[in-house]
């Protein structure tokens, strides 16, 4: 049974004096138990090291392992730490998912996972004549083959990759190819991509969806996962699909945030069905969004999330970038302005995977919605203080904020077309009047009711 602390961000799932990872690890340490702690990124090690160093009796009882504090490979150092029976071991999720775990070791450890694991990923292989690394996959059918199909998703097949493929220079020189041989991951491929793999066409990519082997979560002495709104995450769906039971710990249920927040988001006229995922960078809506926020004359520093090449770059006078993987970070709680401009939707192949395998699962909410929620909770909302949020993608309002926040104020930005055919020029953002805001709000709620009845 996996134990879940699903409380919202900022309530003490990690650092609280009671009912937290810190409190639980301290208790187990004093009882002489062994603890393994898994963190999502190197940025969180400092906080853990400071606390754990304050509770241990001997420095040798604690070992922190990540790529930034040694030249030795992290998996090798983990193997040594386990062999030395270190009482507290702190590692990254990357190292955790690369190590070959044995049940005899797992049964000795209390496992603590801070934030949900990334349990699905996509590998892309692109063979082309000009490539410096080439491999004729058709010569390796003994090492690379399909073993069975999923009756519930007949388009997908499990692909086995034998050790013999490691002799190829392609594998030794290519990180994605090496990942195919990681036994902690299952390789899923469509029949079409598999045939393309064996008969590669110039400039034709093929894809492999990797799923973390669920055995990695079995046979531990105890498992605790601290993750806000765990029920919407990919890890939750992964546990359920692999028939691994989990329960939310007492008093650790997720409750929507009641943070005081004003959300600025676009209302589109002329029934324009617009989504950032379908429009190229530089589309008119970027210019309209930029014009809207510039007219607000924002002087406060702004915490922003945007794609690397977005045309909205440098939009605010003072701005601070936040990483996409911002889970658990506490460096930006002074910010009261957040701008969500990025597009972080799933790739087409991953979308197909989830539609075929997890029919009742909201992958958009788990990917885009959840990441945006985590970014928002890095600002002053974490302290319960008011904030302004500027959103460039209208879908976020209903698919994200309605899931994670109880109530919030709306500030609509009307993107009106000056041309009936809505070409790429002649659009601008015009703030709505109070009456227009109320009308737009009623229309949105009416549309939601219609959509809910059709489900």
How far is the C-alpha of 18 from the C-alpha of 357, rounded, in Å? 39
DSSP state of 400: I
Task: Answer whether residue 34 shows pLDDT above 60.
Answer: yes
Q: 326: helix, coil or strand? A: coil
pTM listed for this prediction: 0.85
φ/ψ (deg, to 5) at 427? -110, 150
Task: Answer whether residue 311 shows pLDDT above 60.
Answer: no
Specify burial of residue 270 (Cβ count, 10 A radius: 0-12, 13-18, 19+): exposed
Q: What is the pLDDT of residue 335?
A: 94
How far is the C-alpha of 86 from the C-alpha of 84, rounded, in Å? 6
Helix (H) or strand (E) holding 18: none
For the chain, what is the total number of helices (H) and then of strands (E)? 16, 19
| Interior angle at CA 354, CA 446 and CA 93, nearest 5 | 115
Q: What is the pLDDT of residues 324-333, one digit of tens each?
A: 877 777 889 9
Q: Which of 95, 361, 98, 377 is nearest to 233 (CA)?
A: 361
Average pLDDT, the chain: 82
| Interior angle at CA 391, CA 387 and CA 392, nearest 5 | 160
Domains and CATH numbers, the chain: 2-117+217-248 (3.40.50.300), 120-212 (no CATH), 261-454 (3.40.50)
Grade residue 288 by pLDDT with cuts at 50, 70 and 90: confident
Asked which of 178-192, 268-282, 289-303, 410-424 is least confident by mean pLDDT, the reply is 268-282
Q: What is the pLDDT of residue 425?
A: 42
Grade residue 309 by pLDDT with cuts at 50, 70 and 90: low
């Amino acid at each position: 049974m996996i134990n879940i602390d699903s409380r919202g961000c900022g309530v003490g799932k990690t650092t609280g004096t009671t009912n937290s990872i810190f409190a639980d690890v301290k208790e187990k340490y004093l009882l002489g138990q062994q603890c393994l702690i898994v963190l999502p990124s190197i940025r969180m090690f400092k906080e853990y090291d400071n606390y754990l160093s304050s509770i241990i009796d001997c420095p040798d009882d604690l070992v922190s392992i990540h790529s930034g504090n040694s030249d030795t490979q992290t998996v090798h150092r983990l193997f040594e730490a386990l062999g030395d029976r270190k009482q507290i071991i702190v590692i990254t999720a990357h190292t955790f998912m690369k190590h070959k775990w044995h049940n005899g070791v797992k049964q000795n450890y209390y496992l603590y996972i801070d934030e949900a694991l990334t349990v699905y990923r996509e590998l892309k292989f692109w063979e082309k004549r000009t490539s410096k690394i080439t491999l004729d996959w058709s010569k390796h059918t003994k090492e690379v083959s399909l073993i069975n199909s999923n009756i519930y998703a007949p388009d997908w097949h499990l692909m086995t990759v034998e050790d013999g493929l490691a002799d190829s220079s392609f594998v030794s020189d290519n990180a994605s190819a090496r990942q195919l041989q990681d036994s902690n991951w299952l390789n899923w491929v469509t029949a079409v991509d598999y045939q393309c793999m064996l008969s590669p066409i110039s400039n034709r990519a093929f894809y492999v969806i990797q799923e973390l082997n669920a055995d990695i979560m079995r046979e531990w002495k105890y498992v605790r996962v601290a993750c806000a709104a765990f029920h919407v995450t990919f890890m939750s769906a992964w546990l359920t699909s692999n028939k691994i039971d989990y329960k939310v710990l007492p008093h650790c249920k997720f409750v929507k945030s009641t943070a005081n927040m004003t959300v600025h988001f676009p209302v589109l006229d002329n029934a324009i069905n617009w989504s950032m995922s379908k429009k190229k960078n530089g589309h008119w809506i970027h210019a309209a969004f930029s014009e809207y926020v510039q007219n607000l004359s924002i002087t406060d520093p702004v915490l922003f999330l945007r794609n690397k090449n977005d045309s909205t770059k440098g939009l605010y006078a003072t701005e601070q970038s936040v990483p996409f993987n911002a889970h658990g970070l506490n460096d930006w709680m002074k910010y009261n302005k957040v701008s969500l401009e990025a597009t972080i939707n799933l790739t087409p192949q991953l979308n197909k995977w989830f539609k075929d395998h997890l029919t009742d699962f909201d992958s958009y909410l788990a990917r885009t919605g959840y990441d945006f929620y985590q970014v928002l909770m890095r600002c002053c909302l974490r302290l319960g203080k008011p904030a302004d949020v500027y959103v460039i993608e209208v879908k976020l309002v209903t698919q994200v904020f309605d899931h994670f926040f109880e109530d919030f104020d709306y500030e609509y930005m009307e993107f009106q077309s000056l041309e009936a055919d809505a070409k790429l020029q002649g659009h601008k953002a015009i703030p709505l009047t109070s009456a227009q805001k109320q009308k737009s709000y009623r229309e949105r709620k009416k549309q939601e009711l219609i959509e809910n009845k059709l489900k």
